[in-house]
Structure 1
Amino acid sequence: MSSHSQAAPSPLGVGILGSGPVTQAIHLPSLARLRDILEVRHVMDVDPGVAESVAARVGARYSTTMEELLADPDVDVVAICSPHQFHAAQVIEACRAGKKAVLCEKPFATTGEEAAAIAAVSAETGVPIIVGAMHTFDPGWLAAEAAWGDLPGQVHTVRSSIVLPPNPRFEDFATEIVGRVPAPSRGPLDDAAIRAMITGGVMGLAIHDLPLVRRFTPDFASVEVLHAETVRPFGYLISLRAGAVTVELRAAMNSTWEPAWTFEAIGDDASLSISFTPSYVHAGSATARIRRPGTTTVLGPFGHNGYEGEWRKLADIARGAGSAPSAETLIHDLEFALAIAGSAADSAASDVPAPEESLA
């Protein structure tokens, strides 16, 4: 008796807007492991040399304009990996171009108004959007979410703690970076520099964990920053209240040899502790531990982490096999991050001594 197995669907074509270090060191290696379901077909960058070099690595076409990439009929899904200020307009254009799904690097907008405009266009066009906060797609986190039971209702303290070397060290481990822009040298920590470091830290680093924090803070709209300060050479210490939950956000990017990225949610008689793989690391997932009196449940590590997880999710929703997070969820995640960034920047800057005090 012969059996007719159904042929696997052909890979979805991927177009990438922006070809900087994140594309080169994170997305291309992830997509290389998923060639049976996703295939890079078009790469865009405003620097033609970078676009050509990155496209050549994967045998894709290249261009220097968004319009050319969005007009390419071989592009089914679009990844937006450009600087933050371009995200909202590019997400909207990708939706209007009739693509099957959009992956946007975080943050997907810089204001609540931009986020609302994106949500409206996504609803109007039916094009689903996911935001690349990779921890929400990590199998270790998803396994914890499925197993934690009544934990969210009893959590009183949440902590996100990040210790990393500078990004270029990881980028260079992952691939040979072309077109990297040197980091600006840091001057004195005046009011503007402190605000920029806190805002950049929250919107660039903490934002990976803030959707996780929000799972345990039902009153997320009532954010009260208790203390905020910068950490040299780059980092932050922020403590805040979100409703009845105390939240601690800590990060330091220094010359450490051992990176660590941990997330904790502590309740009255249960706790969750997750150790995530550091940025740019592709091997293995987070490991989660759920502790209750007398028992510890260990979940993970699994075979891939959130970098691959977000692409798997995008492929599923583009094929109609899954659903994207609701627009309301994405908007609330962004509003939560913006509220923390703004209040923490105000708090940290207000602690800077005035010039005449610092000379005393």
Structure 2
Amino acid sequence: MTTGVGFIGAGPVTQAIHLPVVAGLSDRLHVARVMDVDEATAAAVAARAGAAHGTSVEELLADPAVEIVAVCSPHAFHAEQAEAACLAGKKAVLVEKPLATTLDDARRIAKASKDTGVPIVVGAMHTYDPAWLAAERHWGDLPATARRVRSRIVLPPNARFETLATQLHAEPVFPARGGDPSDPAVRAASLRGAILGLAIHNLPLVRRFLPRVEHVDLARPLTPFGYVLTFRGGARTAELIGYLHGGWREEWSFEVWGDGGELRLDFTPSYVRAGSAVADLRTVAGLRTFGPNPDNGYTAEWRHLAALATGAEALRYPAADLVDDLAYALDLAERAADLLLQGRAA
């Protein structure tokens, strides 16, 4: 018997990323039900997996065939739906990033998880990437001696990858961003959205080496979507660049420089099933390279969910850590937005 998965939300991430990954793990997982507020989308996406469908979250949670719940709905609904999945007694819950939109909501999810014993996993796929985990086992005191961190996410628009990964049903049409781009309030809102929508992928990695954000030196939104950020915590500095551009060139990298070593990871784009990152770890002992592994972070994440559901593994990242990751992202977003509102960002 394989474990049944229910999807709350059948948008592009569900269609182009999660469904193909679950299909590739058919020895342990199957799609049991797909829910979407648009019935035609729910029906079309469920038909691909031979699953039941509907427009009701309550129906999905009441379905005994649904043992793992994947919350892939708009961010504002994550807390309510993740809490409900825990209270329904499911075996595990995946919440797409961000865990929630407020710290109070994140704590609400963590409390529900603790009270019910239902493990929560956040869709921060790079924290499950095999190359990242291999480097972590060998980097020694690099987190304690790190001095500089850099994250670069430079990609074509998601829609290009989505249409290559699958034939999207009901491809979403996002409303144009309104407001005067020279208005500091508009720029601040754009930057906050970019941090919680794009930078958040790598922020759990950044937090391992720069645990506290104490001062944001530079905060600049990029058009059509992106950011440039520099910030400090103690004697450590971080530079974050994220940009969705009009071309095809991509770079998804993460780098750390410390007193006793250096680390660089090069990740594959989210929608491309091209295996894990490659991690180069340089210490006094020499250069070690980890990866590429055939599985990327999404596959590793779903393997972990399947193992949680059967009791074969313990939860890798406790709920308290997930709350701290969100607190870090929210703090950075608010500090960067405040810098723009004060008119001091370059």
TM-score, normalised to structure 2, is 0.96
Q: Of the candidates 326, 330, 344, which is equivalent to residue 338 of structure 1? A: 330
Equivalent residue, structure 1, for 2:165: 174
Equivalent residue, structure 1, for 2:256: 265
CA RMSD after TM alignment: 1.4
Structure 1 unaligned segments of length 5 or more: list them.
1-9, 354-360
Structure 2 letter corresponding to 1:265: V
CA distance in 2, matches of 1:352, 1:44: 45
Deviation at 1:293, TM superposition (A): 4.6
Deviation at 1:294, TM superposition (A): 7.2
CA displacement 1:211-266 (0-9 Å, x = unmatched): 11111124x2x431111001122110010112332111111110121211000011
CA distance in 2, matches of 1:186, 1:79: 28
CA distance in 1, matches of 2:70, 2:233: 32
Asked if the contact 1:45–1:65 (Cα under 8 Å) also holds between the matched residues in 2, the reply is yes
Deviation at 1:352, TM superposition (A): 8.1
Q: Of the candidates 197, 201, 204, which is equivalent to residue 211 of structure 1? A: 204
Structure 2 letter corresponding to 1:311: W
Equivalent residue, structure 1, for 2:343: 351
- 2:75 is the counterpart of 1:103: no
Asked if the contact 2:156–2:247 (Cα under 8 Å) also holds between the matched residues in 1, the reply is yes
Note the 1:149-164 alignment, pairs <5 A: 149-164=140-155
Structure 1 letter corresponding to 2:307: D
SS in 2 for 1:184: coil
Asked if the contact 2:184–2:343 (Cα under 8 Å) also holds between the matched residues in 1, the reply is no
SS in 2 for 1:235: strand
CA distance in 2, matches of 1:341, 1:295: 37
**Greater Cα radius of gyration, structure 1 or 2:** 1
Asked if the contact 1:238–1:250 (Cα under 8 Å) also holds between the matched residues in 2, the reply is yes
Structure 1 letter corresponding to 2:21: S
Equivalent residue, structure 1, for 2:23: 32
Structure 2 letter corresponding to 1:214: R
- 2:321 is the counterpart of 1:329: yes
Structure 2 letter corresponding to 1:215: R
CA displacement 1:59-105 (0-9 Å, x = unmatched): 00001010000000111110000000000000000000010000000
Deviates more, 1:289-298 or 1:18-27: 289-298
SS in 1 for 2:209: coil
Note the 1:8-47 alignment, pairs <5 A: 10-47=1-38
CA distance in 1, matches of 2:189, 2:25: 37
CA distance in 1, matches of 2:247, 2:102: 34
Structure 2 letter corresponding to 1:52: A
Equivalent residue, structure 2, for 1:5: none
Asked if the contact 2:149–2:255 (Cα under 8 Å) also holds between the matched residues in 1, the reply is yes
Structure 2 letter corresponding to 1:91: A
CA distance in 1, matches of 2:143, 2:278: 19
Q: Of the candidates 51, 58, 63, which is equivalent to residue 72 of structure 1? A: 63
Structure 2 letter corresponding to 1:104: V
Deviation at 1:13, TM superposition (A): 0.4
Equivalent residue, structure 2, for 1:132: 123
Asked if the contact 2:35–2:54 (Cα under 8 Å) also holds between the matched residues in 1, the reply is yes
Asked if the contact 1:217–1:245 (Cα under 8 Å) also holds between the matched residues in 2, the reply is yes
Equivalent residue, structure 1, for 2:174: 183
Equivalent residue, structure 2, for 1:356: none
Equivalent residue, structure 2, for 1:147: 138
TM-score, normalised to structure 1, is 0.92
CA distance in 2, matches of 1:240, 1:323: 34
Q: Of the candidates 186, 191, 196, which is equivalent to residue 198 of structure 1? A: 191
SS in 2 for 1:215: helix
CA distance in 2, matches of 1:264, 1:24: 31
CA displacement 1:297-328 (0-9 Å, x = unmatched): 11100011011111011111111122221121
Q: Of the candidates 273, 278, 282, which is equivalent to residue 287 of structure 1? A: 278
Asked if the contact 1:227–1:348 (Cα under 8 Å) also holds between the matched residues in 2, the reply is no
CA distance in 2, matches of 1:66, 1:171: 25
CA displacement 1:10-55 (0-9 Å, x = unmatched): 2100000000000000101111100111000100000000000000
- State the identity %: 53
Equivalent residue, structure 1, for 2:302: 311
Equivalent residue, structure 2, for 1:235: 226
CA distance in 1, matches of 2:244, 2:174: 13
Asked if the contact 1:290–1:296 (Cα under 8 Å) also holds between the matched residues in 2, the reply is yes
SS in 2 for 1:103: strand
Equivalent residue, structure 2, for 1:300: 291
Structure 2 letter corresponding to 1:260: E
Structure 2 letter corresponding to 1:29: P
Structure 1 letter corresponding to 2:115: E
SS in 2 for 1:199: helix
Equivalent residue, structure 2, for 1:252: 243
